Structure 1
Amino acid sequence: MTKRFEQAMRLMRRRDPQAQENGFQLLLPYAAEHVDELVTAFDQERADHGLRCWLLELIGEARSPDALALLVEQLQGDDESLRDWAVRGLKMLDTKPAREHLWRARANGLIG
């Protein structure tokens, strides 16, 4: 784990909304460099729903094919907020498999 990632995650876990935002903004331009760490953090985070949403947003911003499985999993999940971030991430990924999963989700009525 890089120092930048650790610092950003520490900030995003604080109770201070400005510190949380600072952590998110610190990581945003470098999301693609931290896809594996972001996926691991997302999988391990269970207590803070808002942080999970932010992590999924960052994963989508990374535009990495390595995140396809996680994005599809969240697309098919029950949590509407995470599903919305998964849709956004799959649209940003814009690969044939991502588009196919979005098409299936629309056809099955999961998304509009």
Structure 2
Amino acid sequence: MTNRFDECMRMMRRRDPQAREDGFWTLRPHAAEHLDELIAAFRTEEDHGLRCWLLELIGDARSPEALPILVEHLDHEDESFASWAATGLQKLDTKEARTALYRHRANNAHN
């Protein structure tokens, strides 16, 4: 049996926009089950759009294990990564996530 994650990643890499969307939406409800794989794929992926999707899926996992990568990208120079990291921290909604968001907003209010 084909691994769901691998199949969805294959779909998300296709040239066909509908296949790409289908891969994303198939994986989304299972993001928490594949968090480690999502983080590993995010760290090695070179395609910007796919990296954004992967970071979005990492946030969708709503797992405390996602906290470090989300915090790491909260101040990223690429606004897309920073935005998905902030969204993921809001979804996580733990004390640590809220603290990271508070600090980020406080630091950026002074810049």
* Cα distance in 2 between the residues matched to 1:103 and 1:25: 30
**Deviation beyond 2 Å, 4+ runs, structure 1:** none
Q: Whole-Å Cα distance in 2 between the matches of residues 99 and 109 of structure 1?
A: 15
Distance 1:6 1:77 in 2: 27
TM-score by length of structure 2 reads 0.94
Partner in structure 2 of residue 16 of structure 1: 16
Aligned CA RMSD, in angstroms, stands at 1.1
Give the distance between the partners of 1:67 and 1:44, measured in 2 at CA.
16
| Equivalent in the alignment of 1:65 | 64
Is 1:105 matched up with 2:104? yes
CA distance in 2, matches of 1:32, 1:65: 10
Distance 1:42 1:14 in 2: 17
- CA separation in 2, counterparts of 1:65 and 1:106? 21
SS in 2 for 1:77: coil
* Sequence identity percentage: 64
> Unaligned stretches of 5+ in structure 2?
none
For residue 80 of structure 1, what is the aligned residue in structure 2?
A: 79
For 2:25 and 2:100, the matched residues in 1 are separated by 29
TM-score by length of 1: 0.93
One-letter amino acid of the structure 1 residue matched with residue 65 of structure 2: D
Tell me the number of residue pairs that the alignment of Structure 1 and Structure 2 aligns.
Answer: 108
